[in-house]
Structure 1
């Protein structure tokens, strides 16, 4: 006999909402998904969804954050990728490529949603961390790491939200990015910049 909803722990109901929300957002996009549809898919009354997630942006942030966390955990557990920050970075970007439209919608909404800004910020922090780990060995001791991180942030946003398909494999683009940033940091050092 199925359990009564009151017997299902809150965390379990919340997780079901997030899972169903991700499926709907991934297939229908942000604008094409309603809280009521997510509730129906998860077997929760539409009004009850707002008890867990007061706004659609809160649910969107939770779904996007959950997806990114799952991808990161899988990458970090993969023996072929783990410990190689550049390969980890490429793997995450490749996994997210089919969801560029969702990233674009999240990016457009981060100014209006603290939840989305936080989720997107955590993802960017991980991406930048992988990039900095990949290039640290080639950087001069006095390199402006903040400038490199800012540059990487802008470039990653472009990779995540662009509607343009890359002419080259993502791994090749990331390789060029790491080489260019390392060379630029070394050149700035030489010019006193």
Structure 2
């Protein structure tokens, strides 16, 4: 016999809300998805959605966190990529590519919403960590990697949010960035 709605634990219901919202945001975008539509998809009232996520941006941040968390878990669990920060970096960027439209909206709205800013910073930190590890393999761990963080942010933001069709695959762009950064570090 199915559970009564009141018997469903909050965390399970919250996961259902995020899963349905993810489908709707992917299909209709941020502006084309309403909290009411998410509630209907889950089978709860819109006010109940707000009980789990006070604002639409909080819900959207949970969706972005879900997308990033899933991609990150897949990359980190892939034994073929283990220990190769360059390969992990490229694999994550490739997995995130279908969601560029959502990342663009998250990027635009993160100044208004702490939840979006927080998940976006978490993604950039992970990407930067892999980039710095890949560079350190070539120039040594004593290199001043902090001085090149801004360039890395610009590239990652472009890869995550650009609506322009890329002429090169993420792997080629990452290799170009690594080569340029290694050259800068070696000259310094």
Deviation at 1:163, TM superposition (A): 1.3
- Give 1:1-193 correspondences, 5 Å limit: 1-139=1-139, 143-187=143-187, 189=188
- Structure 1: state its 5+ residue gaps: none
Cα RMSD after superposing both structures: 1.2
Q: Which runs of 5+ in 2 are unaligned?
A: none
Q: Which string of whole-angstrom CA distances, capped at 9 and with x for unpartnered residues, describes residues 105-162 of structure 1?
A: 0000000000000010101110001101111122366533112222101110011111
Rounded to whole Å, the distance in 2 between the matches of 1:179 and 1:114 is 34
TM-score calculated relative to the size of structure 1:
0.94
TM-score of the aligned structures, taking structure 2 as reference length: 0.96
Give the SS at the match of 1:59.
helix
Aligned residues: 188
- Rounded to whole Å, the distance in 2 between the matches of 1:141 and 1:76 is 22
TM superposition shift of 1:5: 1.0
SS of structure 2 residue aligned to 1:81? coil
Q: Is the contact between residue 94 and residue 170 of structure 2 (CA under 8 Å) also seen in structure 1?
A: yes
1:71/1:92 contact within 8 Å kept: yes
